[in-house]
Amino acid sequence: MPCFSPYDVIIFDCDGVILDSNSMKITAMGNALRNAQYPNDLIDTAINTFLNNFGKSRQYHCQYFVETLHGLQGQQSIDLQKSILAHYSQAVEDEYLKVPMTEGAFALLDSLKNKPLYVASGSEEAQLIRTFEKRQLSQYFKGIFGSPETKSNNVKSIIVQHPGQNILFVGDAVADYQAATANAIDFIFYSPYSNVKETMLEMSKTHHFPVIHSF
């Protein structure tokens, strides 16, 4: 795509950008909360929080659900977080291999294969690397980065490998925009699969970042 031509290095978010996995993750988190016996009256609030803060790590979300929303601390908090994470991680591990790529993503990656490409995601890094290897997508990327390191720090790690080069972040969530701006690189919002599309479109008017509606 012409909008990518000026950039030497391109960083992609994964969920909702490379893989059509946003809805899958929302469903997986809901099931994980129920399976871990998280309080039923708080599940809708937790899921809504998860949806609106997509792109942050699963560890961040679980701690917020258990300590801030549910009010648990100490060993009770640790045990419930571990249970939620275990159920969620297993569900995502299975479903990551089944979800389709976003429309046009494969052709886009193929067209950009002469540029250094990276993934910076809120997903667990080891799980993401396994998924990309099994789906034969690793060949397109110079590096695949995820949690528990923050997205902003992962972007910073990529930038230091390419001093003086023009770098772009392509994402679909507020956390993606924040990671780009924290590191003073350009950002493009990829809209079709975003959980927070309306929020991001409003932000694009205020912060003047470009929006693309298809690859």
As a whole number, the mean pLDDT across the chain is 95
Both 17 and 30 in one domain: the answer is no
110 exposure class (CB count in 10 Å sphere: 0-12, 13-18, 19+):
exposed
Residue where one domain finishes, among candidates 55, 79, 95: 95
23-70: pLDDT as tens digits: 999 999 999 999 999 999 999 999 999 988 887 888 999 999 999 999
Q: What token pair was written down for 135?
A: 């789906």
Residue where one domain finishes, among candidates 71, 95, 119: 95
Both 170 and 186 in one domain: the answer is yes
Q: Where in the sequence is the domain holding 130, given as residue range(s)?
A: 2-21+101-212
Instruction: Tell me the CA distances in angstroms from 165 to 9, 133, 182, one per residue in order.
Output: 7, 27, 17
Both 27 and 6 in one domain: the answer is no
Quote the pTM value.
0.89
pLDDT the model gives residue 74: 96
pLDDT the model gives residue 53: 84
For residue 205, pLDDT over 80 is answered with: yes
Both 132 and 195 in one domain: the answer is yes
User: What average pLDDT does this structure show over 84-109?
Assistant: 93
Both 6 and 44 in one domain: the answer is no
Helix (H, G, I), strand (E, B) or coil at 150: coil
Helix (H, G, I), strand (E, B) or coil at 25: helix
For residue 1, pLDDT over 80 is answered with: no
Q: Where does the pLDDT of residue 94 fall: very low under 50, low under 70, confident under 90, or very high at 90 and above?
A: confident
Both 17 and 110 in one domain: the answer is yes
Domain tally, the chain: 2
Q: What is the CATH number of the domain that holds 175?
A: 3.40.50.1000
Alpha-carbon gap, residue 161 to 139, rounded angstroms: 19
Both 60 and 121 in one domain: the answer is no
Contact 173, 162 (CB under 8 A): no
Rounded to the nearest angstrom, the gap between the alpha carbon of residue 148 and the centroid of all alpha carbons in its chain is 12
Both 34 and 84 in one domain: the answer is yes
Both 48 and 88 in one domain: the answer is yes
pLDDT the model gives residue 11: 98
Alpha-carbon gap, residue 186 to 147, rounded angstroms: 22
Residue where one domain finishes, among candidates 36, 70, 95: 95
pLDDT the model gives residue 112: 96
pLDDT the model gives residue 57: 84
Both 113 and 82 in one domain: the answer is no
131-184: pLDDT as tens digits: 999 999 999 999 999 989 999 999 999 999 999 999 999 999 999 999 999 999
